[in-house]
Structure 1
Amino acid sequence: MGSEEFIFLLIGLKWTVLLSVVGFICGGIAGLGVALARSSEIPMLERITAGYIAVFQGTPLLMQLFVVYYGLALIGLRLDAWVAVAVGLTLHASAYLGEIWRGSIDAVPRGQTEAARALSLKYVSRMTDVILPQALRISLPATIGFLVQLIKGTSLASIVGFTELTRAGNIISNQIFQPLTVFGIVGALYFLMCCPLTIIGARLERRFAASAR
């Protein structure tokens, strides 16, 4: 295990981080729309988004990436591996974050919404100024927890041949025949990414629980 192999792992780490960032940001934007639709009190929108969430929560991420990359190619839409994985992670994240944030919106006391309506606030102002700031605070621990899962989920990008951290480790292991050393380093890199986020999420959860007493 020399410097060239370690640099190759770091390149894979770079793509893992980029995939996580793209999936989380794009999935968060789409997930906010899903959350608002789920709590819109419009039956059609609620049913559509409930079905959308059920599909992505009820199927493995591995299968979702497989369908995006290979399934779309069957109908003539060929995506680069990077784009396909980014799209798959975005769809996956939007369903989970949408449900997390929908639950957080519903957790905001009904009196807040009633007070905003009593002040004649329109829907947009009511959501952006009253409901969403409180819902965001409630959802932070669960949101961070999902981000940790998303980071680890990027390891499945290898199904479409994309070289992120796990696949980079597999390539090096096949070359130098030291799987324990290579995947020990790969595991340590994942740990260094995920452990701080896990600690932050746990601290936020304890802080919010204490303030709610």
Structure 2
Amino acid sequence: MIRELGPNDIVYLLEAARWTVALAVIAMVAGGVLGLVVAVLRIVSFKPANWIAIGYINIVQGTPLLGQLFIFFFGLPLFGIQVGAWEAAALALSINASAFLGEIWRGSLQSVSPRQWEAGAALGLSYWQRLTSVILPQAVRISIAPTVGYLMQLVKDTSLTALIGFIELTRASQILSAATFKPLQVYGLAAIAYFVICFSLSRLSEQLEKRTHAAR
């Protein structure tokens, strides 16, 4: 039965937007931890570690996120591992994020002048001391803009989880559109919600860049 679009429907979209943000945050945190490992494996002076990281990045970046979602949601149950839409979405997005963040952070680490490594060695610092105390703080400043840019993309990528039944902003919009038969209004509201989230992240990026540069 077709009904009118009302205030309760707007609240429903806002509640679904919370799950969009929550999923993006979980994927960013989990993917960030794994991505940092990937970035370090890419730059260490140990060829097998480099090859493993490169192979991992190529596989993840070379396959569509939708395919990765399907692998976790439909593939894991074939091996007796039951997962819901939430778990499959979080796993797929985290792994996908780790490959992209790993490359972003690898580029940031390598963009730090080699003289910084040499200066740390001259002070008698070990490799890990140079990495954590000298290189990483400088790489963080460089990586803020591309990292937040990827996070905005990650927020929009969560819309693909609607295809495995996870109710986030896009899936909620589909449900409301079918109930009210007002796709333009419903998807317009969803687009505004995505814009507010991404614009907020953009402003956060600007503030972080100003603070880190001011602290130099």
Which of 139, 158, 161 is the aligned partner of 1:135? 139
In structure 2, give the amino acid aligned to 1:52. Y
Asked if 2 retains the 8 angstrom alpha-carbon contact of 1:32 and 1:98, the reply is yes
Shift of residue 77, structure 1, vs aligned partner: 1.3
- Alignment match, 1:33: 37
Whole-Å separation in 2 of the counterparts to 1:200 and 1:4: 30
Whole-Å separation in 1 of the counterparts to 2:200 and 2:20: 16
In structure 1, give the amino acid aligned to 2:54. A
- Does structure 1 residue 165 correspond to structure 2 residue 146? no
Which of 46, 52, 71 is the aligned partner of 1:48? 52
Whole-Å separation in 1 of the counterparts to 2:126 and 2:84: 43
Which of 42, 60, 64 is the aligned partner of 2:68? 64
Shift of residue 59, structure 1, vs aligned partner: 1.4
Identity of aligned residues (%): 46
- Alignment match, 1:147: 151
Asked if 2 retains the 8 angstrom alpha-carbon contact of 1:142 and 1:201, the reply is no
Which of 200, 203, 206 is the aligned partner of 1:196? 200
In structure 1, give the amino acid aligned to 2:62. G
Structure 1 residue matching 2:55: 3-state secondary structure: helix
- Does structure 1 residue 18 correspond to structure 2 residue 39? no
Q: Which runs of 5+ in 1 are unaligned?
A: none
After TM superposition, the score normalised by the length of structure 2 is 0.91
- Alignment match, 2:103: 99
Whole-Å separation in 2 of the counterparts to 1:96 and 1:206: 24
- Alignment match, 1:113: 117
Whole-Å separation in 2 of the counterparts to 1:137 and 1:205: 7
Whole-Å separation in 1 of the counterparts to 2:211 and 2:31: 26
- Alignment match, 1:87: 91
Structure 2 residue matching 1:120: 3-state secondary structure: coil
Structure 2 residue matching 1:15: 3-state secondary structure: helix
Which of 2, 5, 11 is the aligned partner of 1:7? 11
Shift of residue 196, structure 1, vs aligned partner: 3.0
Whole-Å separation in 2 of the counterparts to 1:92 and 1:167: 21
1:165-213 Cα shifts (integer Å, max 9, x gaps): 000000010001000000000000000011232355478789999xxxx
Q: Which runs of 5+ in 2 are unaligned?
A: none
Whole-Å separation in 2 of the counterparts to 1:42 and 1:205: 33
- Does structure 1 residue 179 correspond to structure 2 residue 186? no
Stretch deviating more after TM superposition (3-12 or 44-53):
3-12
Shift of residue 36, structure 1, vs aligned partner: 0.5
Structure 2 residue matching 1:163: 3-state secondary structure: coil
In structure 2, give the amino acid aligned to 1:63. G
In structure 2, give the amino acid aligned to 1:74. L
Paired residue total: 209
